Chains A and B, each alone.
Chain A
Amino acid sequence: MISRTERTATYAIAIAFAFLTLAPLVGILFAAFHPPGALLNGVSVPHSLSFSTFSNAWHRGSFGRLMLSSLIVASSVVAATVVLSIPAGFAFGTMRFPFSSALFFLFLSGLVIPFEALIVPLYYHFRDLGLTDTYWALILPQTGLSLSFGVFWMRAFFRATPRSLLEAARIDGASSWTTMTRVLLPMGRPAILTMVLLVFMWTWNEFLLALVMISDDAHRTAPLGLSVFKSRYGIDVPSVSAAATLVALPVLVVYVFLQRHFIRGVLSGAVKG
């Protein structure tokens, strides 16, 4: 059937593919273990596992504050998205009401419109409201966009629950609210976790909005801080690499433990959208 050489060749392709994917990332990780300011040539394997460049970059770039900002923004967006999209998804998924499909289409359009197209009016509105250089300027627009996905995602979940379950709950005298909170939500934990992870990742990684809305040090998010750090210390490859690693690390760690959720979410979000 399948020959030995063919099998070996496939393994070789798989390994080469994985290697090419990881190489740039492992490369900067290696670079980050060199002393700050060191001149590197090509891939340079570190002699020792010294974290001094990381702590150095952490202090010089105030990454403590940047991470805190990112954490505040990301957790607010996640919380708002969860609280708002579950009931909305429940309504779209289980009830019939006037204009439901038109409304849902409105939500869906948010999946397609990118910030790139909205950023100009968004900025001037927020400036008029005096909200630039505040966390609100990051939280509100991103909650809006995340809701598109959240409502779409929770609707798909509620739709997939068997009708008989809803009817059984109603016969037992449960209101819509009890049905949602007591019957469906416990079942929906994996779906909700997936949504939480994806929204957290998107918010954490977001760049353009922060670039436009935030000009003061106090409210910068981690990716924006990295970009500033890079333009300030660009030649210092080890330090910039360490800073980049710090910014990527939180999402990466969560991904390593819960990768199934990430992959499932992105794929089914993509396939159905």
Chain B
Amino acid sequence: MLDGAWISFFNWDGITPRSWAGLANYRELIHDGAVHSAFLHSLVLIVFYSLLPVTLGLVLAATLSHTRIRGLTPLRTIVFVPQVIAAVVIGVAWQWVYDPSGPLDAGLRAVGLGSLSRAWLGDFGFALASVGVIGTWVTTGLCVVLFLAGIQKIPLSRYEAARVDGAGPVKEFYAVTLPALRGELAVALSLTVINALRAFDIIFVTTKGGPGSSTTVPSLIIYQRAFVSGEVGSAAAIAVVLALVIFTFAAVTTRLVEVQAE
């Protein structure tokens, strides 16, 4: 870690001797459009990897536990499956989904919306969102399982009390479920935001940052600069920035959880 910070102060292609660069690598980052857009893409991915799955997860978990249906255990097992599958495999599966001959476009054509079909991952306007949806698919199940476990810990008496007070399902959700899930909510948010910030595998397998640079992310640029184009110092500087962002974020959320727990 500290070593990475040390490398970031040098001009180095990884082969010839390095030369001292001071803060130049960092100064260049400030004006580096490629890095800006990569971090910007990370923000978009946070929406897909974090905000969307957490919201969907809350709604689904609340709906599923409200009516107390049977079969929750097998459902839990199924929706958790994306967590145990290698990201490379997930990338392969979704690349097939998004392929012009894949099920998504075939489905669109079948219902007469053929004009909407496209090469999703090769489209400048849609590639980033398409990659994002993969993240939503991976994470929503995790959020649901997490929230279901949280809801099960809420004493039934609280729901009964709410019902006696004449609360409908929506009010019940806001008055009982949501406040009780604060801890799980914080955990889900911090976990998924960190996942969004470090996203690499799926993007590397599906788009490699393309088309153009429309799906680049910081970790991908670190990889390319350090191991493909020989700008090791610059890569190390980006890695330091990324690590600082993740650390700060993790520290802030842990603090928030602790404060709430007290």
A residues sitting closer than 8 Å to B (CB atoms) are 2, 6-7, 10-11, 13-14, 17-18, 20-25, 27-28, 31, 39-43, 112-114, 116-121, 123-125, 201, 204-205, 207-208, 211-212, 222-224, 226-227, 230, 237, 240-241, 243-245, 247-248, 251-252, 255, 259, 262-263, 266-267, 270-271
Contact check, B93 vs A24: say whether CB atoms are below 8 A apart. Answer: yes
Q: Which residues of B contact A2 (CB under 8 A)?
A: 66-68
How many interface residues does B have (CB within 8 Å)? 78
What is the bound-complex CA distance between A23 and B103, given in angstroms?
A: 10
* Known contacts A207-B201, A270-B191; is-contact A14 B71 (Cβ 8 Å): yes
A125 touches B85 (CB 8 A): no
Report B172 CB to chain A, min CB distance, Å: 12
CA distance A118 to B183 in the complex (A): 30
Which residues of B are found within 8 Å of A204, using beta-carbon distances?
86
**B88–A251 contact, CB under 8 A?**
no
Min C-beta distance of B228 to chain A, whole Å: 11
Residues in B lying within 8 Å of A, measured CB to CB: 1, 3-4, 6-7, 14, 60, 63-64, 66-69, 71-72, 75-90, 92-94, 96-97, 99, 101-103, 105-107, 110, 137, 141-142, 144-146, 149, 183-184, 187-188, 191, 194, 198, 200-201, 204-205, 218-219, 222-223, 226-227, 232, 235-236, 239-240, 242-243, 246-247, 250
Which residue of the partner chain B has the closest CB to A127? B14
Give A23 to B97 CA distance when docked, in angstroms: 9
Complex: how many Å from CA A120 to CA B3?
Answer: 9
Q: How far is the CB of B38 from chain A (nearest CB, A)?
A: 12
Which 5 pairs of residues, A with B, have the shortest CB-CB distance?
A42-B106, A117-B243, A121-B3, A205-B86, A116-B219
What residues of chain B lie closer than 8 Å to A40, measured between beta carbons?
101
Cα–Cα distance between A227 and B235 once the two chains are bound (Å): 23
User: In the complex, are the beta carbons of A252 and B222 less than 8 A apart?
Assistant: no
- A207, B68: Cα distance in complex, Å: 40
